[in-house]
Amino acid sequence: MIQIEICIDSVAGALAAERGGAHRVELCDNLFEGGTTPSAGCLRIARERCSLKIHSMVRPRGGDFLYSDLEFAVMREDVRVAKDLGADGVVFGLLTAAGEIDVPRTRELIELARPLKVTFHRAFDVCRDASRALEDLVGLGVERVLTSGQEPTCLEGMETLAALHRQAAGRIIVMPGGGLSPRNVRRIVEGTGVQEVHLGARARTESGMEFRNPRVFMGGTLRPPEFVWGSTDEAQVRTVAEVLQER
């Protein structure tokens, strides 16, 4: 059975993913920047209310994956918090300035995270050499790597995804993520041979606010609308599960 991981940013998202037939969720905050560390409150309540495996993002900010000593200290603490709050796994990615896996720091976080599962996220997609990076992650004992095949979407990266899956040879899970949808997920799975997929399954949620002040904004110049936000769509998750069961 193909394992379905849904990227979520709320407790409601975790419950929607569960109802839709997902097997695991990646819990984040700030999906607009690709996902950052979720709040302790969100992780705690998600763990209490959701029976799925929960993997918690550990990423102190948006932007690149070259972290300062202070940011790395925050990441260490966030790993500890995730363990204390009952996460089943953690998700992180660290690179050197040369675009290689930051092996020493990655090893430190892995040792701190155990016995939780570890996913190396799409920092992998901006590293210099995907084949070498995969071997570094295998050597570190990482369970899975999330990747679009170093392209904007998994459809564009299918050839690399297939090659990485062959190279992995069961030593690490290669999990496609990036641009997957109910329409293309079956094609990605059949074209690469992978056994797990990662997608957002997002929909728009309209605010219930009746009074709206159009002059005031909470964000910066590049800002999302105040009265619409993204949420996990149970129907999309269910469609993906059904499509993959038909294989």
Listed by start position, the domains of the chain span 3-245
Question: How many residues does this entry show for the chain?
Answer: 247
Nearest to 109 by CA among 82, 144, 83, 76: 76
Q: Which residues contact 4 (CB under 8 A, 6 or more apart)?
A: 21, 22, 23, 24, 196, 197, 199, 237, 240, 241, 244
CATH code of 3-245, in short, is: 3.20.20.380
Average pLDDT, the chain: 94
Q: What is the mean pLDDT of residues 95-99?
A: 97
Work out the pLDDT band at 247, boundaries 50, 70, 90: low
Scan for tokens 């990441």, then name that residue. Answer: 75
- Report whether pLDDT(194) > 70: yes
Out of 15-19, 89-93, 138-142, 199-203, which region has the weakest mean confidence (pLDDT)? 199-203
Work out the pLDDT band at 228, boundaries 50, 70, 90: confident
pLDDT tens digits along 112-141:
999 999 999 999 999 999 999 999 999 999
Q: What is the mean pLDDT of residues 156-174?
A: 98
Q: Does residue 230 contact residue 31 with C-beta atoms inside 8 Å?
A: yes
Element (H, E) at 110: helix 103-113
